Chain A
Amino acid sequence: MMKKTLIFILCLLIVLWFCGPVLLILIAALTPSAEYYDLARLVPTKLTLTHLESLFVRLNGWKATLISIQTALLSIVISFAIGLPAAYVLTRYVFKGKNLFRLTILLTRSFPVIIIGVPLVTLYLRIGIADSVLGVSLAHSSMILPFIIIISSSILGGISVEYEEAGMVFGLTRFRSFLRITLPLALPGFAAAAIYAFVLSWNEVFISAIINLTNRTLPAHILNTAMTSPDYFKFAAGTVMALPAMIFIFFTRKYLMSMWGISLK
């Protein structure tokens, strides 16, 4: 009994540690400006949506949100188009240097964005995709791709080759067998991977801020506008940024866990 209570208290502390700040941000985002600077008051007497509203409407946040969504979706399409075949080859074939390849995939992440940022802008200006959704999406894809390859290959690895081979023996080509048999089985996992990719792109601020000046994604836009605004705007912006990610992670946490080999039992 004693032990149970202790564990409960410990869990509560951990939850508070992680959720406390999120809750404070949320409250601050909804606090009327008059009450926000009243130091005597921690919990506001009423909640308001004005900050969120002005962030979206007055500060053109809705446009940035739209661009963010476009960018994220396009990044997902690009990364899956390249990443799925790569993941398939990694799981289904044996070839020389396979392990080295698997290892070096993640190396692309070790280049600091700040180093490739400026050359990227120069390149984009030359080929004419600077300040566009496509440009940022390509940059985001390069960041997402390694994760998509690694995650997808572990999802595919969890699906027995024999299902696909059965498809081939019973009349399908390898490609159609993948589409008809393996893909439906892998779909929940891929969906979770896509959502993870969405969150990565949604949260990325640096590349988007450098590459796009007018067509900024939401975080870049916030960096530009809200950061020079009063604090409650910052918190409103923080809430907008954090919420989708948290909702997605909440719904897909089971798959995310299984992708990294942790089971929820």
Chain B
Amino acid sequence: MSEVTVKEVKKYFNQVKALDGVDMKIQDGEFVVLLGPSGCGKTTLLRCISGLETVTSGEIRFDQKNVTHLPPKDRNLAMVFQSYAVWPHMKVKENIKYPMRIKKFSKEEIDKRAKETAELLNITELMDRYPAQLSGGQRQRVAVARAIVLEPAALLMDEPLSNLDALLRVTMRSELKKLQQRIQTTTVYVTHDQVEAMTMGDRIAVMRDGKILQFGKAEEIYQRPKNVFIAGFIGSPQMNFLEMTVKREEGRAELVSKGLSILCEEDKVKGLEKANLDKVILGIRPENILLSPENGCVPIKGSVYFTERLGGETIVHVSTESKRFVVKVSGDALFNENETLRIYLNVKKTRLFDPETEEAIG
């Protein structure tokens, strides 16, 4: 178990920039998720930490030890690959024991650890089978067993759940998280699935174009996204964005767009003053738009455009004069198309962004 420090790491593939100066510090025993769209550099970062990819510049440390130029085998890591990479010519037990054998563990130690890990992951009865005789979920367990049996300094996972079917993915998600909490190994987990990231990560690093845009706890990233990209990437359905004009006069600020006028709260006024903008982008999550009035909510008239009834919740697309809003209400609700109604924006839970830089201002 180690603390992992990544310092100004850059990685170029010929002329193509994959990592553009990444800094991150992962605490000992922490579960960190690298999240981002494909091509954002998250897998490259993981492979640089593993040593399978060399860095162009920068430094990687495990605790105080500089491992930047060490080959993967000397980094004391374990990895779960996207395809599991369970060696097909070895039985399950050989797959689990082989890494320990390479590292010259004693025979008793190998047997003991293999047995314990197999019990932990519930694969004891699969030990004598070949990987080809296993299902995807079982293979995944073997891959995880092989990884944790070494008690590595850090555990790296590259989209380990993406090849499983939806139901199994949900089960494995919680099992992996539980397992990590139990063995307390520093874990770096790559995914493009925001639900996985939100549910599993102690902290999430949202990446784009080879950079970490925001690194923080799930709720922090959800509630206080640093820019429009993160706000839009996290959360489903997507956050509603609306460009509004700013009217400022002496310690007050009002945001205006067709049919909607919002008087800003004090903290937002400060942000707006500092940014000194004529226009802002207002972001509001679908669950923060209500269908009945509540304290501090701003109404807007609209008509129902389309309804998605999911049983447990209903997504209503409401057309208004300024924008079509997506509204999420819990429970099953029935609406007629073109039915007129009023929706209420919970102003306290909005986020303002600079339309130029797309950075959050309050």
Contact = CB atoms under 8 A, between A and B. Distances in A.
B87 A163 contact: yes
Interface in B101-159: 102-103, 146, 150, 156
Interface string A154-168: 000000101101111
Given A181-B87, A185-B88, A166 B71 contact: no
Interface stretch (A45-53, A131-139, A170-178): A170-178
B89 interface: yes
B87 A169 contact: no
B82 A171 contact: no
Interface string A180-198: 0100110000000000000
B355 interface: no
B85 A168 contact: no
Interface in B313-350: none
A174 B73 CA distance: 9
B71 A168 contact: yes
A173 B73 contact: yes
B310 to A, nearest CB: 36
B89 A166 contact: no
B88 to A, nearest CB: 7
Contacts of B89: 184-185
What class of interface size applies to chain B in its complex with A? 20 to 34
A92 B88 CA distance: 20
A162 B79 CA distance: 10
A162 to B, nearest CB: 4
A185 B132 CA distance: 13
A209 B248 CA distance: 98
What class of interface size applies to chain A in its complex with B? 10 to 19
A168 B72 contact: yes
A168 B102 contact: no
B72 A169 contact: yes
A201 to B, nearest CB: 29
Interface in B66-114: 71-73, 77-79, 81-83, 85, 87-89, 98-99, 102-103
B52 interface: yes
Contacts of B81: 162, 165-166
B50 to A, nearest CB: 6
Given A171-B99, A171-B102, A171-B103, A166 B79 contact: yes
Interface of A: 94, 160, 162-163, 165-174, 181, 184-185
Closest 5 CB pairs of A and B: A170-B99, A171-B102, A162-B85, A166-B85, A162-B81
Given A94-B13, A168-B72, 20 more contacts: A162-B82, A162-B83, A162-B85, A163-B87, A163-B88, A165-B72, A166-B85, A166-B87, A168-B73, A169-B50, A169-B51, A169-B78, A170-B146, A170-B150, A171-B103, A173-B71, A174-B71, A181-B87, A184-B89, A185-B88
Interface of B: 13, 50-52, 71-73, 77-79, 81-83, 85, 87-89, 98-99, 102-103, 146, 150, 156
